[in-house]
Amino acid sequence: MGRNILNRLFRLQWKEKEYVLDLGDSSSRLFGPEKKWESLLTHYSWSREEDGSYSLPDGSVALLRSGKLFIHTKGKTFQFAIKGRETSDAQTASLEIKSPMPGKIIKVEVKPGDSVRKGQTLAVVEAMKMEHALKAGADAKVQDVLTQPGDIVSQDQLLIKLGE
């Protein structure tokens, strides 16, 4: 049961802020970045279009693609990065540092054998002039560094491996 609960936590990133979604069987909750903000989900009905998008009766249109969630509603376009779910399996994920987007490595701050703390910046990747810090998902030791500054990397490319 414990694992099940963990399985239902998802992270959505919007404008540098993370929102956590807790999916339940009959109702779901959404937490804002400050944890103070919380919403109970209401019932919506989406219909799936031929082009893969979803439509709401109020005219909103949404699309899930390339690791992103796009929503167009009331004349505005919103874009979320989907950070995947936070689960017990995240343990593995937190030890494998992958590039979240295609880009260029501009900084690598660790070498094999270094001890790192959870949340510590390990490397920085840049795409379209936007920098993104790659952080350790757990307290660990650096096992392998598979990249160096200047490398052009693809999305989900393994960059750093952490171990016990």
* Residues lying near other proteins in the complex (CB under 8 A): 7, 10, 12, 14, 19, 21, 23, 28, 30, 39, 41-42, 44, 46, 51-54, 56, 59-80, 82, 84-85, 87, 89, 98, 128-130, 156
- Distance between CA 31 and CA 22 in Å, rounded? 8
Pick between residue 98 and residue 161 the one whose CB is nearest to other proteins. Answer: 98
Pick between residue 29 and residue 135 the one whose CB is nearest to other proteins. Answer: 29
Structure tokens at 150: 């200047």
CB of 53 to other proteins, least distance (A): 6
First to last CA, the chain: 27
Neighbours of 23 (CB within 10 A): 15
Pick between residue 47 and residue 111 the one whose CB is nearest to other proteins. Answer: 47
- Distance between CA 7 and CA 108 in Å, rounded? 32
CB of 144 to other proteins, least distance (A): 18
CB of 115 to other proteins, least distance (A): 27
* Phi, psi values for residue 49, rounded to 5°: -95, 165
